[in-house]
Structure 1
Amino acid sequence: MNNFKEKIRDLRKSELIKKGDKILIAFSGGPDSVFLFFLLSFLKKEYELKISLIYVNHNLRDDVENDLEFVENFSKENKVKIFIENLDVLEYCKKNKKSVELGARELRYKVLNEKLKELNFDKIATGHNLDDNVETLVFRLLRGTSVKGLKGIPAKRENIIRPILQFEKIEILNYLKKIDQNYIVDYTNNESNYSRNYIRNEVFPMFSKINKNFKNKVNDLILEINERENKFGKINVKNKKKDEFVKFLNENDVEISRKKIDQIFYSLFDNFGNLKNDGEKEFNLGKNKILKKNYFGYKIVENEEKNLKNQKKFEIIKKNQSIEWYNSKTISFFENILEFDNFFVEKKDFKYTFLIFEDNFVSDKSKIIVRNRENGDRIWLRNLGQKKIKKILIDKKISKSEREFVPIVELVFEDEKKENIILTISDIKFSKFVKKIFKTDIKNFKNSNKILVIGRKKWQTEIKMT
């Protein structure tokens, strides 16, 4: 059922069907066209559709009267209008020297288009399914075809749409069985006199012995070929971006199926090939690899790296000394300006933020620590009161996993009755107890002022500071 929901969702995205469409269903009474009717009926209210059926009698079978009785009864039971057209296929083929298979197809589409214009409808919907598409590709391969022939059956060609092209035959049959819906069984489909029937009845069972899922594999190839060609026959921006993404995976020794590549790619990028601005995502690539995406890009990490980083850290900052935080930041505390001048060493590959304490509440009975964020953490902001740190990091578009490694600088008192004070969220947000200053302004403060310095490696993604 989940697979059904996904395919209906994909059908909506395809825009084959649009609001207010008047659709004429090519209705044979077989399982595909019956299923197609129920699918469009399900979408009828949502899209404000007008639906009618057309049955084309090719006059090729002795039991055609049974078919006519079925389609007429189906029309009455489901309160849908049906139009019945009669053709003389054998006479047409004899006159035009065509095979019965080809002649029937030509006449059928001719009458469908004529009826469409007569009724002033918008689209003809046919019941071609995934199995039909795979059969078409194999048929063309055996006869000889160009790359264009490998595109299979188009989901849309002029005013003809094929809404169930991604549904397997077995899915269709199982659904009709589930709702206890009858349909016409065309006994000629079991005869291998025609090329397509031979492929379906004789060739496909052999393929299934090699790979039971071969139809989906072939369909994936058809989808990829279609994806790579826009209406001008050129590679579009999105396909170029996808090629770059596949190359990136290959360079990182990632081996996953095309289907999974598609799932990841469409989760990361929009229709114009731009990285989606929807926060952090993670994808398991197998072989101990994980693809991590945040607001600014994506990368592949080893599971060991992820587990290592998940270890919580807790550091006490000693006076006039610096600590390193996850190999990307440094935090230093200086008792006064003189000690800052004597002990602070500026590294070329770091960018620094300088903070001066507003009050002298740092004493021998308190210590400054650096730790990971914890649930419920809040910070006192100047003129804004207390704010949740999690909310601040989300607003700054810092990904979920990165939030866990942002250093929280906190003043901890020995007296447990006193509430500890969060001084800064890294160099992202500062409490009312400290003030950001320029390095050149430090000399203007009293020597007794205490100083906090936070360094960030310059290669790190810059975050707008406040």
Structure 2
Amino acid sequence: METFRNILSFLNKNGIKLDNKKVLLSFSGGPDSTLLFNFLLFCREKLNTYFECFYLNHNEREDVEEEESFVKNICRKNGIFLNYKNVEVLSSKERKSLGFERAGRELRKRFLETIFKEKNFDYIFTGHNFTDSVETFFINLQRNMGLRGATPMKTVDKHYVRPLLFLKKDEIVGILREEKIEYVEDKTNFDRKIVRNKIRHELIPSLESSLKDGVLSFKTFFENISEIEEGFDQIVFEKLEIFRSDAKGLYILIDIPKILDYNKKLRKILIYFALSKYFYVNKNLIDEIQKVLISKKKNVEKKCGDFFIFKSYSNLRISKNFEENERIKYLELEMNKRVLFNCFEVEIKKVENEKDFSFEDGKFYFNVESGKRFFLKTFEKGDRMTIFKMDGSKRLSKIFIDLKIEKSLREKMPVLVNEKGEILLLGNLKRSDLYHVDLENDKEFFEVYVKRVC
């Protein structure tokens, strides 16, 4: 089918190759995902692409049985494994506060991420099209979301891929009808009480008939806005050196002294732009962050809606989602991968003993005999360690008391242990007296970076 070749060409232009790749398709049985399902069947035959589907039944519609039956049958018929989840999306106060559409979207993303990691997929495909981008623009316009709200969906966003962004909704439906490919229609898509549906059935047809190129008239506008956003991101995250984020976008760190160099109005703009890269933000959150920034208290922990604000001396961290902000108790470290463990960034890597090598402040070093696997855990009653340059061992609880470490921080402090259970390091406070490095004879050794960030 020519359409499939066009989709392949579009993906290739965006750097996506499907030869011998593994794809997870978010599948609902609707027109968009059904076209993608058939496209991936084509890729399975021509490019040896392997794919599975994910379907979420959130039990909120009367016609869901018809949709679920369609999805299961088409997967069974074509020998495609279906990752199926049946849940109550609005089963908690937290999810009810988000609203059904957003709660369902976040829950679906969480399931997709889990399957993606467990099964080592290369990409996650979603069926968003160009018309969806235009609809989202007007929804965000109503929400006063600023520049971020005006930017279109990205074709490639990390491992998420939207192969249909060059097609309009009516084009997709037309292709399916012409090829006599069956799909199911979500009846709630016609409920005009829902803002997106009102835009879809009233505003979009008006734009199609009024503008020379219909909704495609937004194409150049979206391209220009994307370039502006990219430029602002470089300024805010790279040039100003005020904000940092983790690789997954789970939190934003703010350098307090640097941002206080700007007046209140500019701070508001900068904070909005930095946070909105990863989160939905509102005026209340930004106002609360402003208050914490100028507070004379050195350490602050507070909740603002779905967000958590942590202030510690010169750093302020904003993170989201209660499940992701509970105190982590145990984590295995991977080499050369920096992780966030409660309020600390930690990384372990093997380094070579090069000429003129010297130990760096804020880093800790252990010889290669110190372990094959390394873990972070939190303090437990009875934990002891041998202290560097001290005879015998000492309880961690006594170390905390001697150093006057507040109780809330003790519960978050990372304790580095090896596979034998030997305690090697207590946060960024104390190193054990085990496994010293011999710079004259050791060709390589482990370097551990630990920094408190909140």
TM-score (normalizing by structure 2): 0.48
Q: Which has the larger radius of gyration?
A: 1
TM-score (normalizing by structure 1): 0.47
